[in-house]
Structure 1
Amino acid sequence: MLLFILSYLGGLLTILSPCILPVLPFVFAKADQPFRKSGLPLLVGMALTFAAFSGLAVLGGIWAVQLNQWGRWLAIILLTIFGLSLIFPQFFERFYEPFNKLGAKLTTSVGKEPSVFHSVVLGAATGLLWAPCAGPILGLILTGAATQESPMESVWFLFAYALGAATSLMLALVAGGKFLNSMKKTLPMERKIKAGLGVAVLAGVVIIVFNLDRTILTQISKLQTEKWESYLVEVFRPAKPLSKSQGGETSELISRITPNLQGGTKWFNSPTLVLGELRGKVVLIDFWTYSCINCLRTLPYIKAWHEKYKDMGLVIIGVHTPEFAFEKDPLNVAKAIEDLKITYPVVMDNDYQIWNTFENNYWPAHYFIDRKGVIRAYHHGEGKYEASEKVIQDLLKEDGSEEMDSKLVQVEAKGVAAPAQFKDIKTPETYVGFRRAENRRLQPYLKQNQEETYVPVSPIYSNEWTMAGTWLIEEDSALLTKPGGRIHFKYHARDLHLVLGPKEPGAKIRFKVTIDGKPPGKDRGLDVDANGFGTVTENRLYQLIRQSPEKEVKERTFEIEFLDSGVQAFAFTFG
């Protein structure tokens, strides 16, 4: 919806561009006729034609990304024609001369009796005059978004853009000839602007030829919409999105009254705790969830602090706020707490009530509370463990209590909890469900909440993934409904994890992974053997790849094949 609004606003501003000049004479030809029978049908015809014609540019961009090499060459030819038509006016004028003549003929044939049909056709011809100027660039900008959705969604964005432009032209139509005269002052710049746009289109062709479009077009889309979309999100939906964090600064003392812990659905390792009854204690609130790799890598430090400082007045409370539905199950959480050997109190926050009272937005997140019940510092994400521990020590010392060992804990985390190699992580956390999925390449296009048989797209490029087999893609996960389904991912990191689980409790789903087409061998993760075989038995994070330390971390192609149906795939994470 936000992109639709942004497209409309972009079209609304089209009136400020010299590209609109070829259109204005036809629009103002209707200025002295009834708007309902003349001006309005013209604008509707123009918007429809523009959306259809410039939609070819978007489809060309989609062909460039979604289809095979034949489709890419079709896209190259189409975009090259668009670009040349803007750079070389002679070609532009000859190619569109029939539409100019048609427009002129229709303008003079209407006479005194306005005709809705003639006005719509005139608008259609006008839209064809306008589309080559605005259409190709708009198509290139939207290609990054279009690769993630169906073609029709992108055409709807174009229609919103055209509708916005039609609105601005309607205002110009009401303003009359004075506006046209003022716009003519910019006429000398029009040809230069068109040529510049044409060069940009041809540059896009070069990008496609050299396979750079996978990343560059996506970035173009983000550059054009990110700022305004973020602004609109803040205006219409002030709450910040949930997110995970890879690190952040431990804050200075902030002296904020601590929220309460009301809303917890179940407590582990402790009866229900009330912060008001913990006055005199230093409290560390740790927001986490058991399938979050960032949280799992933080846990060794949380547990070490608990062991060292629990008898000195530190109380650690883990607030388990779920990301996926299976993390709301008390049995799953209880097993995770046991497997992870967590002995400090943990409260389930299934309804996000504690999360919201702390105005939290991150997994993991740590809030440090002094003996008077005031938040004195906080930290989002992994890292900064030394600074966090020093905050704990300072808060414990504030009441003038006994001297403590100021040495910091020494942690040697292993397995999944081992520290990430952030310098080598060039692939972001990637969700499989349709609500947050990015960089997917599916053929046919994604069918939300519908069973569909997908075929793998080849080749895939950096940070892209594709799938094969019969899947039901839901909001937060993808369910394999027939055996033999596969997921391919081109990634760059030392570790690759995938959050998986059986749809039916107790089911065992066999799988096999390969890296660059071969069994992982020494690059296997904790949950697979050297030949790449493993079994999904419960809902959790599975470590599938950990590249051996003697190897250089580089871009690799990962594949997982599920030998049985019934598995749910949620999210890829990296380390």
Structure 2
Amino acid sequence: MTLFLAAYLAGVLTLLSPCIVPVLPFVLVSFVPARSGRPLVAGTLPFLAGLGLAFTAAAGPAAVGGGLVARLGTAGRLLAFGLLAAFAVSLLSHRVSDRLHRPLVRLGAAVAGLSAAPSSRRGTGIPGPFRSLCLGAATGLLWTPCAGPILGLVLTGAALNGAGWQTTALIATYAAGAATVLAGAARLGRPLAAVLRRHLGLGDRLRRAVGAGLLAWLAALALGADADLLARYPAAGTVAAEESILTALGVEPARAEPSRSLLPVEGALPDLAGATQWLNGGSLTKEGLRGRVVLVHVWTSSCINCIRTLPYLRAWAERYREQGLAVIGIHAPEFAFEHDVGTVAAAIRRHGLPYPVAVDNEFRLWRGLRNSYWPALYVVDAEGRIRHHQFGEGGYARSEAAIQDLLAEAAGRRATDRGATPTRAAGAEAAPDLAHLRSGEIYLGSDKAATFASPEGLSFGPRVYSPGRLRPNQWSLAGTWAVEPDHARLAAEGGSVTVRFRARDLHLVAGPGPDGRPVRFDVTLDGAPPGEDHGTDAGPDGGGTIVETRLYQLVRQSDPARERTFAVRFHGSGIRVYAFTFG
């Protein structure tokens, strides 16, 4: 209640400020449109009501807005100039007045509860109160009061803590205080108007004089006369008076309440000292990350689901780095070859990861997070608490919103919806075509093998296999293969692997033998080269080379809606194949 009193008194002090000068002429002539015997009711009061409402409507959004509000404010000022200029011209000419008023006659009559027919007297088609209300609204758009401590207090509080009905009510109270003294100014100007009416003869010459004067004044305002006036005569006196009011009433400046995220606490970031080693940057500690929001990505280098999350990790790391986001990867191996640090380092380079990666070969960090998934995302707040998680692909909008929310909490400000970050993805990193995906991951090692269709059956150790008749999502071997726990190894030249699938993309996790020699291959779709359906690691003729152990994209179909039979034949021995994945 105290702040409302201060806002009203600040509005009253507006009369002593040079900021009132631009609108004062319009207030003093607000009785001109009033043809009734009650100019206060028909002219001045509607005028002041329109001025107050327009100022409140414009100042409220400005309290929390940005560049858009500034552009709208400029447009409103131009609109005000146009409306007031039209009013001034209507005072100069009855003919112009009739033309300007004619489209609004029925609206004005409806508002006033009058007949739809215009008055027989020229220039009186719009009811006086309605006309004065419109002119007051236009003047309110033109008025920019001096932002003294009290109005500044109101607007700053809204900007810090958000606009609400209290902010609107305080601005309206400020406008009411200004309207009170402006009504007094208009009443003081009325005796002068009565003298002019007696000496100039009923109204017409007075109307023309006022119209000409208003046009001249608008021209001066358009040329910046109001800015020059405020520069020469600053509102130091009213500012000092407002400061005295704040001191007397004991009102404190607005302060922002610390932003608190509503995200639950799910646990704590484990001690990072359990990492085997760190790649792509120095080692990090939990204590060293205190005060920063941390995004943790648990992944493994050959996992297609992990690979498809990497474009988001790169984009978020770049966008939010300056705001305090730290991104770290935790590489927990799925296959035996992924324990090799060189393999992990190659994957980091291949995907262009800009953040440090902890090698977690002993799964200490994995267990510390109580994790069970590849990939997994954890968003950690500035105090080291896990506040959001995402298991598997997807949920990118929710994860980014959590990042934004916790960054705002760390900065002590309100979270804003800044939209999704654009990502760049190509090849295996591209999002899957879930609408046509009908095939799931197929492991080729004995520990997890299923849907095997070679007539010999799957057995441990070297054996000659022959192709089988495949149903959807079945696979077979041809040639001499040694099936190990997590892969199948080609023991003699000329072996192949076949799978029946339905998906846009087909990937094969594969690598050369222990000697590391590259192995050439050819792929076919339904017995023919893939042509335009080839993947990034195979040509249109189906040719390619296995040069390192990683995931290879061998098929990307242009028409993924149909089932296909895929086969890959290797021209060499020692090749190891681990799994088919699809997208």
TM-score (norm 1): 0.54
User: What SS does the aligned partner of 2:564 have?
Assistant: strand
495, 500, 503: which one pairs with 1:485? Answer: 495
CA distance in 2, matches of 1:454, 1:506: 25
Does 287-296 or 260-269 show the bigger shift?
260-269
Q: Does 1:521 align with 2:513?
A: no
Higher Rg of the two aligned structures:
2
Q: Does 1:570 align with 2:581?
A: no
What does 1:87-486 correspond to in 2, within 5 Å? Answer: 253-401=264-412, 406-448=418-460, 450-457=461-468, 459-486=469-496
| Alpha carbons 2:452, 2:458 under 8 Å: kept | no
One-letter code aligned to 1:264: A
| Alpha carbons 2:502, 2:560 under 8 Å: kept | no
| Alpha carbons 2:436, 2:560 under 8 Å: kept | no
CA distance in 2, matches of 1:258, 1:316: 13
CA RMSD across the alignment: 1.6
How far apart are 1:278 and its partner, in Å? Answer: 1.2
One-letter code aligned to 1:542: Y
Residue by residue over 1:39-77, the C-alpha shift from the partner in whole angstroms, topping out at 9 and shown as x without a partner, is: xxxxxxxxxxxxxxxxxxxxxxxxxxxxxxxxxxxxxxx
How far apart are 1:319 and its partner, in Å? Answer: 0.1
| Alpha carbons 1:547, 1:553 under 8 Å: kept | no
How far apart are 1:505 and its partner, in Å? Answer: 4.3
How far apart are 1:405 and its partner, in Å? Answer: 8.0
One-letter code aligned to 1:440: F
Q: Find the counterpart in structure 2 of residue 509 from structure 1.
A: 519
Residue by residue over 1:107-128, the C-alpha shift from the partner in whole angstroms, topping out at 9 and shown as x without a partner, is: xxxxxxxxxxxxxxxxxxxxxx
CA distance in 2, matches of 1:512, 1:324: 25
Residue by residue over 1:52-106, the C-alpha shift from the partner in whole angstroms, topping out at 9 and shown as x without a partner, is: xxxxxxxxxxxxxxxxxxxxxxxxxxxxxxxxxxxxxxxxxxxxxxxxxxxxxxx
Q: Find the counterpart in structure 2 of residue 201 from structure 1.
A: none
User: What SS does the aligned partner of 1:367 have?
Assistant: strand
CA distance in 2, matches of 1:320, 1:400: 30
Q: Does 1:538 align with 2:552?
A: no
How far apart are 1:552 and its partner, in Å? Answer: 4.6
User: What SS does the aligned partner of 2:321 have?
Assistant: helix
User: What SS does the aligned partner of 1:354 have?
Assistant: helix
CA distance in 1, matches of 2:412, 2:531: 54
CA distance in 2, matches of 1:402, 1:312: 12
What does 1:17-96 correspond to in 2, within 5 Å? Answer: none
User: What SS does the aligned partner of 1:399 have?
Assistant: helix
Given the superposition, is the C-alpha separation of residues 416 and 447 from structure 1 closer, same or farther in structure 2, using an over 3 Å criterion? Answer: same
Q: Which runs of 5+ in 2 are unaligned?
A: 1-261
One-letter code aligned to 1:523: D
| Alpha carbons 2:293, 2:410 under 8 Å: kept | no
Residue by residue over 1:194-236, the C-alpha shift from the partner in whole angstroms, topping out at 9 and shown as x without a partner, is: xxxxxxxxxxxxxxxxxxxxxxxxxxxxxxxxxxxxxxxxxxx
CA distance in 1, matches of 2:353, 2:301: 11
| Alpha carbons 1:505, 1:538 under 8 Å: kept | no
CA distance in 1, matches of 2:330, 2:491: 34
User: What SS does the aligned partner of 1:510 have?
Assistant: strand
Question: Among the aligned pairs, what percent are the same residue?
Answer: 44
| Alpha carbons 2:506, 2:554 under 8 Å: kept | yes
One-letter code aligned to 1:504: P
Q: Which runs of 5+ in 1 are unaligned?
A: 1-250
How many residues align structurally?
321
How far apart are 1:476 and its partner, in Å? Answer: 0.1
One-letter code aligned to 1:298: T
One-letter code aligned to 1:437: A
CA distance in 1, matches of 2:404, 2:515: 44
Given the superposition, is the C-alpha separation of residues 333 and 494 from structure 1 closer, same or farther in structure 2, using an over 3 Å criterion? Answer: same
CA distance in 2, matches of 1:257, 1:352: 17
CA distance in 1, matches of 2:265, 2:557: 41
CA distance in 2, matches of 1:431, 1:497: 12
CA distance in 2, matches of 1:507, 1:425: 34
| Alpha carbons 1:262, 1:353 under 8 Å: kept | no
How far apart are 1:362 and its partner, in Å? Answer: 0.7
Q: Find the counterpart in structure 1 of residue 39 from structure 2.
A: none
Q: Find the counterpart in structure 2 of residue 211 from structure 1.
A: none
Residue by residue over 1:146-197, the C-alpha shift from the partner in whole angstroms, topping out at 9 and shown as x without a partner, is: xxxxxxxxxxxxxxxxxxxxxxxxxxxxxxxxxxxxxxxxxxxxxxxxxxxx
CA distance in 1, matches of 2:410, 2:341: 38
One-letter code aligned to 1:262: A
How far apart are 1:270 and its partner, in Å? Answer: 2.0
Residue by residue over 1:126-149, the C-alpha shift from the partner in whole angstroms, topping out at 9 and shown as x without a partner, is: xxxxxxxxxxxxxxxxxxxxxxxx
CA distance in 1, matches of 2:560, 2:403: 38
One-letter code aligned to 1:323: E
One-letter code aligned to 1:366: L
Q: Find the counterpart in structure 1 of residue 217 from structure 2.
A: none
CA distance in 1, matches of 2:373, 2:348: 20
Q: Find the counterpart in structure 2 of residue 156 from structure 1.
A: none
Q: Find the counterpart in structure 2 of residue 555 from structure 1.
A: 563
Q: Find the counterpart in structure 1 of residue 10 from structure 2.
A: none
| Alpha carbons 2:301, 2:347 under 8 Å: kept | yes
How far apart are 1:401 and its partner, in Å? Answer: 4.5
